[in-house]
Structures are given as structure tokens and as C-alpha cells.
Structure 1
Amino acid sequence: MIERTLEPVLRQKCQESKIVVLKGARRTGRLTLLSRIFNLEDPNVGIIDCSNKKERKSMDSITQLKSFSRDKKVIIIRDAQLLETLQEYIDFAIELNSLENLILICSFEPELHEDLWEALREQGLELNVFPVSYSESAKFHGLVQEDKSLEQRLIFGYYPEVVMQEDQAERIVSEIIESSIFTQLGASERINKKENLIKLLRHLAFNIGKVISFNDLGKKCGLDNETVERYVKLFAKANLLVLISSYNNGHRYELKKSHVVYFLDNGIRNGLIRAFQPLEFRNDVEELWKNLVISERYKANQYAGKTPEVFFWLTHTKQEVDYLEINGNEAFGTKMSWDDSKKIKVPASFQELYPQIKVTGISKKTFWTFLRK
């Protein structure tokens, strides 16, 4: 079993607090992670699967939930955002002395009182589970072997089942998209136009790293621009997408109020457009490399407890810096290239405008160093 970076943090939080929220896309290994901390076969551990309509209906009333919980020490609620009486149940669980832990597994953010969210976030009790990271896989397989597998990762990504069953990767990615991505966002964020959503995600997949227009996407997908923007931001909050804004200080030619999108997993991106061809037959290798580098940096920052501001920089004359990270007074930028033999050039105009921000090139040789920066 691949050792997850989040395990010791989650273990500590479960010891310190009764309530922990474990967010992440389905099939990223959330329940597997919990099985490392709790014995899920123990009769004192109760699991409620709200993704199962029959099971959710059987626990639909607060009376049934209370009855189920009274002889349990640990309650785990899967897809807790779908439970309509969730806030009422949490109020009950907090006062139930016999209950030691209530773990809320969420694909999307549940509706809870704002003061409860504030308390959970202040204490670091909202934790994110991502697909396996490069560093987790490298620790399991060895760094040399993981570097050899980078081409596989560019195509099929890092979902746990994909990493562990590489010969079944295409089938597994397709299953994940069908069973996990096209679901309702939550009690108040239902997606009723599945076909429009599929079109939107596919357009985003074809345009990773390119400036997007919510208005243009809406016209292509049969949605208004406000709905497109809302869906994109919701999927960013749900750890499916990474949404990055343009960086500017009002200088001439700089793009303003623009966005680019990357997927948090390369496999999901490729699965949406059914593009599983080997790299030698593709014309999007550089885009795949940028997607992987940025998504891995995002995971690394999250697991390290860092929340820097991230941007891209682009001018109307096509001068570009792929990625900027600003954390307080510290800032750096990167240009990325999959081709190690290609010399990475930093735009002279950027260096003149922002001499305090050092920009470096990221290739396969410097990738690991960048993630640990």
C-alpha cells in the first residue's frame, strides 16, 4: 500500500478533535486512508454511505441517525454533503459523549453553519486528499523507477488504482470519469445539464494552459457565462481543476483579469477527450508536462500547509511565464519544458518589469528539486 503524506496529520487530528472533514474527489483513497487509522470492521465503527440512495434514505431522519450512533465510537459518513440533516446531526454528535470521532468524507463542500466552518478551518480540521503525488509514488516505487514512469503518468495520471494497476489504466480512468466526475455537486449545487457539463469539461481539457473566456465557453456549451464561471470555480474547490489568474501591475500589454485552467490529474484530463496515445504520437506533450508540474506543485504546497498566491504572466505580444508563486515577500516564477535539450528562455520584458522575481526553467532533471522548493 502506498504510504500517504496526509496519514500522520489525519491521525493527529483524529486524536485532537471529534470532528474532521476529509475532502477530495471520489476514488482518491479517502476510505483506504481511514482504514490505516481505524479498524473499519470493528462493530464500534459505523459507516454511512450517502452515495448509496437506499442507505441514505434509511438514514434520512435525525431519529434514525441518532439510533444508529448511540453504540458507536466512530462514525464515518461518506459523501456527507448529500445528507440533508447533516448540520442537525453534527449538533447531536458533538454532545454525544460516547462518540469519539465523526469523520465527514466529502466530494464537495457540505452546507454547514459558517461559524462551524470557521472553527474547523482555524484548527486545520478540513483536510484534502488528492490523487497519489509524485513524491508518494517515488517513495513506494523508488525515485529512479518513478522517473522512468513519468511518460505513463503524463498520460494516465496518479489516481491510486491507476498507479497500482498500470496495465488497466485506461479502463480505470474511464470508469473514474463516469462514476465520480459527473455527479451532483451537493445539496444546493445540482447539475441538471449533464451534457452541457461534459462539453464544458472537454473544452477545458482541450485548452489546458490557454487563456479561457467564460463567455466563449458558455456559447460553445449552451450555458451562460455566469454558470460557466460558477461551475469552474466549484470544480476548483472540489480539487478537480486548478484555476490560475493572470498577474499584472497595470503595465502595458499585460493581460488583465484572465484565467487559465489545469486539471489536478493528467489522467482525468486525457480521459475526458479520450486521448491515451503514447507521447510519440501526440502534439500536446508540453501542455501535459505543464499540467503535471503545476498539479504536483499544488499537492506539495497543500500537504506542506502552504497557501501561496499563484499566477501566470502573459502579454498581448505572447511573452509568457508559465507559473508564478507569491508567498508574502517571497516570489519566484518558472518556465517549463519536457524537452531537456531545449533551452528555456525567460522573457526579457518580465525581467525588466519584475527584477525581484527570479524565473527558472523546469525540466525532467529539475522537477524533483522544484517540488521540494
Structure 2
Amino acid sequence: MNTTCRRHIDEQITTHFQKYKKILVLLGARQVGKTTLLKRLFPEAQYLLIDNQSVKNILERYDISAYRQLIHPGAKTVILDEIHLLSNPGRAAKIIFDQMPDIRLIITGSSALSIKNKTSESLAGRKIDYHLFPLTCAEYIYQTGTEAILAPHISDAILNPKKDTSLYPFDVTAIVETILRYGLYPDMVNSPADEKYLHNLAGSVVFQDLLELNLIENRSSAVSLLKLLAYQIGNLINYSEIAARLTMDVRTVRRYIDMFEQSFIIFRLYPFSTNKRDEIGKTPKIYFYDVGLRNALIENFSEISVRSDRGALFENFIIGEFLKLNTYFDLGYSLNYWRLKQGSEVDLVLQKENTCIAVEVKYSAGTITTAFKHRYPKATTHTITIDNFY
């Protein structure tokens, strides 16, 4: 095993078949490393790429006899990669799972596996979903060889703020400033500052599945919408206002945003509220899973020191990091923001059972608004900055 490519999710994936007999479903955007991870963890597996037309044609027959000819005799693990490209992915997986019980089945999908509704045969009760995201900051530092231990530093910093980045034998600030410019797609580890790669990702790759599956009717409108969202990271989203600016139907705007979210391009953060009349209760904010992709969309890779949006970038980065780690380590927190209608705000509110943690994210310095402290005196509050986040 090439330990330099380790990911936080490795243990969950490798122990899956020890705990369960169910199908392992690995979801994630294109180019986040799904294939690389599975080939590393399961080098003996038979790998079937649905992009291969001959493989696709056989699987589209939905016939166990054809499948037995396709799958090697003695194969113990089979990976169906990009299974969402089939007309009925659930049916294909169900046939193999039900009629070839000795096969350990892994299926992957980029965006569309979770949003495509033409699966007539349900896999309910037969599968467990896992999600792979762009690298975390800790994975990036580990894979570049800067640090010898892969640990979820940012979740530690948010839940138990006590670290000082000056204690590390490497320049954390310089590393995160690079990340804020170019993001955390795995290819950026070996090709840092590759703006051409990110432009290609933003211009075509992120739309590939949506276009191939006819899930967006107007590519130009979809691109314009995604670019507009890229300029509004961390802001409240007004669907009607966006529709008016882009001369799009508001229902189309909502549907495209749903697809972007289910394609793991963006995510929405909803407000924390206890139904007090002056608290924002429904309007979401939008963030990107990768800030490098976001910068490519707005065509700005300028140094952080000269950017007016560095605060928004850092906020997007920190909230995205905790979302990834909350998922990988099953921490169980709900993620929200808090805001009064007159403007007082907390960037991130974490809740689990009787625990409430309010986090203000500031690039340099800041404090939690007293309005939140007065309303929720039992909440733990602290600030995450460039100096204590890792």
C-alpha cells in the first residue's frame, strides 16, 4: 500500500466487508480520487469501468448469464466504476448482489448516482453509502510529506481550541494560503498551482455527468448560475433575485442548485433558529466543496494577501473542512449558521444532543457576537483564525 496516498476514509472502507455483507457505494465528484483509493485498497479486485462501451453494453443486458461471462472466475471483489452511466444502475447491482453472493461488490458514482431517478429496482437494505471529498488540509499536508501523521486537526481545533500553529515545524499559514488559492483536488498535490487543470475542471468536468444524463437543458445558464454562486460564497441566497439577474425561471434556478449540491460541487448551510421572531429561519448560505474550483469559476488565483475575498475564502475552507471530517469520522454534528434579521451573525453552529458550539471564523481576528451569547448562554463559543485552526 502506498501510504503517501492515505485518506481519512481508508479504515471505513477496508473494514466495511468485515462488518457488513452489503454493497459498498462510494460517492463523490469526479477527480476526487475514488478510483485511486479503491485500486490502492483492493488491488486484487476486478475493475469494470462503465465508460468502456463494451462493458456498458454487457451490463445493460441485465442478464446474470452475461454478467457471469464478464466477471472473472474466482473474482472475490468487483468494482463497478461510474455506475450511474447505466440506464438502470440499481438493477445491475441488484442482480450481481442477489445472484452472485460470493462477490464483494463495490460501486462508485460521481454526481448523478444520487440524483438520477431512473433506478426502477431499489437497493434499499442492500447498500451502505460512503462519501469521498477533495482532500482535507491534513490529507494534503500528509500527502506532500510535510507531516508524518494523518490526523483530523481542524475538527480538533474547532471542538477543542487550544492549538497554536506556530508550534508546528512547518509554515501552516503558507500552506493554507496555497490551499485557499488552488484548493484540494488530489491532482493539485503533484501539480501545485495548476490553473489550467482547475479551469478545465470548472469548464467541463463538473458538468460532464449532468450533460451526459440530460439533467440540465441549458449549459450556458448552468455555468452562469454556478459562477454567480461562486461570487456569493457565505452570503444568504435569494433564489428569486438570482433568477431575475440571470433571466431564468426561479424553479430552474432551484433545480440546478439542487443538482449542483447533489453533484458535490456546492453545499448549503441552513440557519440555526429556535423560532425567535428576529432570527433568520429558512434562508440558506452556499459554499463550495473546493475553493480552488470556486476560484477557477471567477478566474481569480491572486495571492491571498491582496484579495478582498480572503475572509470569505477562509470561512468556506473551514466550514468545508469540518463538514468533510464530520462525515468521515461520523462525529454526528449538525452544521448551521445563526443570524438575526438585523445582521448579527455566527458563521458556524454545531449541535449534537445537548451540545451546542458556536464558531466565528475570521482570517485574522474576531469574536462571537454578544447577541448570540445572551440568547444561548449555555453554548460553547470560540473563534477560529489562521493562527489556531490546525
Question: What TM-score does the superposition give when structure 1 sets the normalisation length?
Answer: 0.87
SS in 2 for 1:117: coil
Aligned partner of 1:159 in structure 2 is 185
Aligned partner of 1:9 in structure 2 is 12
Between 1:316-325 and 1:23-32, the stretch displaced more is 316-325
Residues 221 and 49 of structure 1, relative CA distance in 2, 3 Å threshold? farther
Residues 185 and 313 of structure 1, relative CA distance in 2, 3 Å threshold? same
One-letter code aligned to 2:70 = F
Q: Is the Cα–Cα contact under 8 Å of residues 233 and 243 in structure 1 kept in the other structure?
A: no
Q: Is the Cα–Cα contact under 8 Å of residues 81 and 186 in structure 1 kept in the other structure?
A: no
One-letter code aligned to 1:363 = T
Structure 1 residue runs without a partner (length 5+):
369-373
Pairwise CA distance, 1:149? 1.0
Residues 179 and 105 of structure 1, relative CA distance in 2, 3 Å threshold? farther
Alpha-carbon distance between aligned partners in 2 of 1:191 and 1:7, rounded to the nearest angstrom: 34
Alpha-carbon distance between aligned partners in 2 of 1:215 and 1:114, rounded to the nearest angstrom: 37
Q: Which has the higher contact order (CA 8 A, sep 6+)?
A: 2
Alignment of 1:82-97 (within 5 A): 82-97=85-100
SS in 1 for 2:252: helix
Do structure 1's residue 360 and structure 2's residue 382 form an aligned pair?
Answer: yes
SS in 2 for 1:175: helix
Residues 132 and 6 of structure 1, relative CA distance in 2, 3 Å threshold? same
Alpha-carbon distance between aligned partners in 1 of 2:229 and 2:77, rounded to the nearest angstrom: 40
Match of 2:327 among 279, 302, 306: 302
SS in 2 for 1:365: coil
Do structure 1's residue 37 and structure 2's residue 62 form an aligned pair?
Answer: no
Q: Is the Cα–Cα contact under 8 Å of residues 82 and 186 in structure 1 kept in the other structure?
A: no
Q: Is the Cα–Cα contact under 8 Å of residues 88 and 120 in structure 2 kept in the other structure?
A: no
One-letter code aligned to 2:21 = S
RMSD: 2.4
Pairwise CA distance, 1:146? 6.5
Alignment of 1:311-330 (within 5 A): 311-330=336-355
Alpha-carbon distance between aligned partners in 1 of 2:247 and 2:47, rounded to the nearest angstrom: 40
One-letter code aligned to 1:78 = D
SS in 1 for 2:208: coil
Match of 2:276 among 223, 232, 251: 251
Aligned partner of 1:348 in structure 2 is 370
Q: Is the Cα–Cα contact under 8 Å of residues 314 and 321 in structure 1 kept in the other structure?
A: yes
Alpha-carbon distance between aligned partners in 2 of 1:236 and 1:146, rounded to the nearest angstrom: 33
Q: Is the Cα–Cα contact under 8 Å of residues 25 and 180 in structure 1 kept in the other structure?
A: no
Aligned partner of 1:46 in structure 2 is 46
Alpha-carbon distance between aligned partners in 1 of 2:86 and 2:25, rounded to the nearest angstrom: 14
SS in 1 for 2:5: coil
Between 1:272-281 and 1:292-301, the stretch displaced more is 272-281
Alpha-carbon distance between aligned partners in 2 of 1:196 and 1:291, rounded to the nearest angstrom: 24
Pairwise CA distance, 1:189? 6.7
Alignment of 1:116-135 (within 5 A): 116-120=123-127, 125-135=128-138
Residues 286 and 128 of structure 1, relative CA distance in 2, 3 Å threshold? same
Alpha-carbon distance between aligned partners in 1 of 2:297 and 2:235, rounded to the nearest angstrom: 17
Aligned partner of 1:68 in structure 2 is 70
Alpha-carbon distance between aligned partners in 2 of 1:228 and 1:53, rounded to the nearest angstrom: 33
Alpha-carbon distance between aligned partners in 2 of 1:220 and 1:50, rounded to the nearest angstrom: 39
SS in 2 for 1:177: helix
Report sequence identity in percent. 23
SS in 2 for 1:21: strand
One-letter code aligned to 2:10 = E
Residues 114 and 330 of structure 1, relative CA distance in 2, 3 Å threshold? farther
SS in 1 for 2:308: coil
Pairwise CA distance, 1:144? 4.3
Question: What TM-score does the superposition give when structure 2 sets the normalisation length?
Answer: 0.84
One-letter code aligned to 1:56 = K
Do structure 1's residue 265 and structure 2's residue 290 form an aligned pair?
Answer: yes
Alignment of 1:215-254 (within 5 A): 215-254=240-279
Match of 1:191 among 209, 216, 233: 216
One-letter code aligned to 1:6 = I
Between 1:232-241 and 1:359-368, the stretch displaced more is 232-241
Alpha-carbon distance between aligned partners in 2 of 1:18 and 1:68, rounded to the nearest angstrom: 21
Question: Could you report, residue by residue, the CA deviation over 1:263-305 in whole angstroms, capped at 9, with x for unpaired residues?
Answer: 0111111111111111123110000000100000111101111
Structure 2 residue runs without a partner (length 5+):
148-167
Aligned partner of 1:371 in structure 2 is none
SS in 2 for 1:326: strand
One-letter code aligned to 1:237 = Q
Residues 82 and 221 of structure 1, relative CA distance in 2, 3 Å threshold? farther
Residues 202 and 58 of structure 1, relative CA distance in 2, 3 Å threshold? same
Between 1:197-206 and 1:226-235, the stretch displaced more is 226-235
Aligned partner of 1:200 in structure 2 is 225
SS in 2 for 1:242: strand
Question: Could you report, residue by residue, the CA deviation over 1:44-93 in whole angstroms, capped at 9, with x for unpaired residues?
Answer: x4333234556534543224445312634332222111211322222321
One-letter code aligned to 2:370 = A
